[in-house]
Amino acid sequence: MISRADKGNSLVILPTAQYEFNIEDFIQTNNFQISMINHTKSFQSQVIKVINNSKTLTPSDKKCKHMNMSPTASSIKGLIKLNKPEHPIRPVVNWRGAPAYKLAHLFTQKIKQMAPLPNTYNLQNTRDLIKKLEDTPVLPHFALDLLDITNLYTNIPVKEIREIIAKTLEKNQIEVETRHGLLNWYDAITKQNYISNNGKILIQQDGLAMGAPTSGKIAEFFLQSLEDTHLTHLSIKHKIARYFRYVDDILIIYDPNHTDVNNMRKDFNTTHPIMKCLAETEFNKKINYLDITIHRSPTNWVISIYRKPTFIDTIISYSSNHPAQHTYAAIRFLYNRLNTYNLHKSEYKEEINTIHDIMLNNGFLIHTHTHTHTTPTHRHPTTTSDRQTDSATHK
């Protein structure tokens, strides 16, 4: 069979039996149980009931808008992780047909308004990380460490987070009826934790539903609650210089002269029973995080673009019949990233060469793309004020 790879925009050809084995292995590992009943109709009834009972959250004439009138069980497929041993899958669950799909969107919208999160340690994107690194002084003995929280969604304690959300709503002085309505929505959405695979209905015993629009926001309530409770103590105990998190990937800057990295990792893994992190330390003063490589020089953080070993350079060909805005979309993205990230001069030139290789391999003519690069007299690789003005013009 043919499946998509997890990263790199590539296709994978593999025996169907191997693909099905990987799906089954994921199901077994995450404690799904087979159900003889398709619960879609009963879940649909619950959704209709909680929407109709929420008088302060939705106008009477808009309630039907948030009900999925032709619900189906969510289906699962797997994207092959080519960069991992034995090529496990990244599960992708289609939740669009789920009974609570529309309600989940509305819940996410309402909870953002009524219980906004502080996002103290969250990264918005790579640009946000680079900006925060610019404000982080570099000492020669600093070191970098990565923690990757494993199986986050399938291990989230749903009941515990309900209490966190309830306390947050009460603290924000949301009226009682509205609080109860939102929590009833929460219950209806989180109970719909089942999928369909090869004609079988599988129920996840705990955790958040994969593919649900609410899962990311609910997981953030949990993680930010943990950070609020434990991070100040851990930072003092282990002399952590900076802590950043993007979803379930954590970057830590610490002083190895005062920090035992193994004890630090152990303490992070014991902040909660579900917290299990895979660790990765820097190599040759470099570490890969998000889509960049962070190089720790004696005085600066040097940034370069990171591509996984499974990266392929196939984009829409110049000779294709796609509209021009589609044909040039990938090229525009590459140049915009180049000019947005604060790359050192040598890394900048290396990325220009990579972009040119991608263009040539997909039939683009390099001379039709003029790129000006002005080098200042004194360039500092991680200071915004010293950054040169770079431009890319696509004709």
Q: Check: CB of residue 57 under 8 Å from CB of residue 176.
A: no
Helix (H) or strand (E) holding 201: strand 200-204
> Who contacts 297 (Cβ-Cβ below 8 Å, separation ≥6)?
138, 285
Q: Check: CB of residue 22 under 8 Å from CB of residue 87.
A: yes
pLDDT for the residue numbered 161:
96
At 202, give phi and psi (nearest 5°).
-120, 130
Q: What is the pTM of this model?
A: 0.84
pLDDT for the residue numbered 371:
52
> Interior CA angle at 276 toward 275 and 278, to 5°?
140
pLDDT for the residue numbered 248:
94
| Residue labelled with tokens 């209905």 | 201
Q: How far apart are the first and last CA of the chain?
A: 41
pLDDT for the residue numbered 383:
35
Yes or no: domain 126-150+220-292 corresponds to CATH 1.10.760.10: no
Using one digit for the tens of pLDDT, what is the confidence trace for 325-339? 999 999 999 999 999
> Who contacts 29 (Cβ-Cβ below 8 Å, separation ≥6)?
none
At residue 246, the 3 state secondary structure works out as strand
| Spatial strand order in the sheet of 89-94 | 32-35, 200-204, 194-197, 74-80, 89-94
Within a 13 Å sphere around the CA of 137, how many CA atoms are in the beta-carbon half? 4
Distance separating alpha carbons of residues 42 and 60, to the nearest angstrom: 22
Q: Check: CB of residue 93 under 8 Å from CB of residue 148.
A: no
For β-strands 194-197 and 32-35, DSSP reports them as: unpaired
> What is the pLDDT tens value at each position of the chain, 395 positions in all?
888 888 777 888 989 999 999 898 888 888 789 998 999 999 999 999 999 999 899 888 888 999 988 999 999 999 998 877 788 888 899 999 999 999 999 999 999 999 999 999 999 999 999 999 999 988 888 999 999 998 888 889 999 999 999 999 999 999 999 999 999 999 999 999 999 998 899 998 889 998 999 999 999 999 999 999 999 999 999 999 999 999 999 999 999 999 999 999 999 999 999 899 999 999 999 999 999 999 998 888 999 999 988 888 889 999 999 999 999 999 999 999 999 998 989 999 999 999 999 999 999 988 644 454 444 333 344 333 333 333 333 33
Distance separating alpha carbons of residues 369 and 395, to the nearest angstrom: 6
Using one digit for the tens of pLDDT, what is the confidence trace for 38-93? 999 999 999 999 999 998 998 888 889 999 889 999 999 999 988 777 888 888 99
- Per domain, the residue ranges of the chain are 2-110+157-211, 126-150+220-292, 313-394
Longest dimension (CA), the chain: 72
pLDDT for the residue numbered 83:
76
